[in-house]
Each structure stands twice: as structure tokens, then as C-alpha cells.
Amino acid sequence: MTKLVYFAWVRERIGKGEEYLDLEPSIVTVGDLLAHLKTRGEEYEAAFEYQDVIRVAINQEHVDHDAPIKGATEIALFPPMTGG
């Protein structure tokens, strides 16, 4: 099981801050995961509509969308940060 943690408007659109998923063997990279999540219902589709802007951290380390997720215990997904 992999813990997915959602932040900011990703969390708001999905309606939950975290969940645990058994990832299918076909989900190899972060990009694969984002594509899979979009298929989980309207709220996920809305949250990941523009998946290219989603930032990702695996086990608390920022990664690109082509990064492998094998061995990940926690994957955090969040929109770009803005300063103020």
C-alpha cells in the first residue's frame, strides 16, 4: 500500500487529504499515477485536469513526472506554490 497525500486545491477538489492505494504493476512512473488517478471519478478528473502543473514528492523528496514510484511509501501531490 502506498499513502497518497493531497494538498491545497488538489485536496479540495478530491475531497480528502490522504488515502492509501494498492498501485497496479502498470503504474511505474509519477506520470502513470497521475493518469490513473484521473480515471477514479469526477473529483479526481477535476483535480488532475492539468496534470503537468502538479508537483510531486516521493518519500518527501521532490521528483519529476518521469520518476519511478517503485518502493514509494508516501507520494504527495500538490499544485505549484505561490509566494506572498
pLDDT in tens, 2-27: 999 999 999 999 999 999 999 999 99
pLDDT in tens, 29-60: 999 999 999 999 999 999 999 999 999 999 99
Per-residue pLDDT at 73 exceeds 70: yes
**pLDDT confidence band for 81 (50 / 70 / 90):** confident
C-alpha distances (whole Å) from 84 to each of 1, 22, 24, 54 are 36, 37, 39, 20
Question: Which residues, in sequence order, are CB contacts of 60 under 8 Å at separation 6+?
Answer: 74, 76
Per-residue pLDDT at 83 exceeds 60: no
CA distance 71 to 7: 22
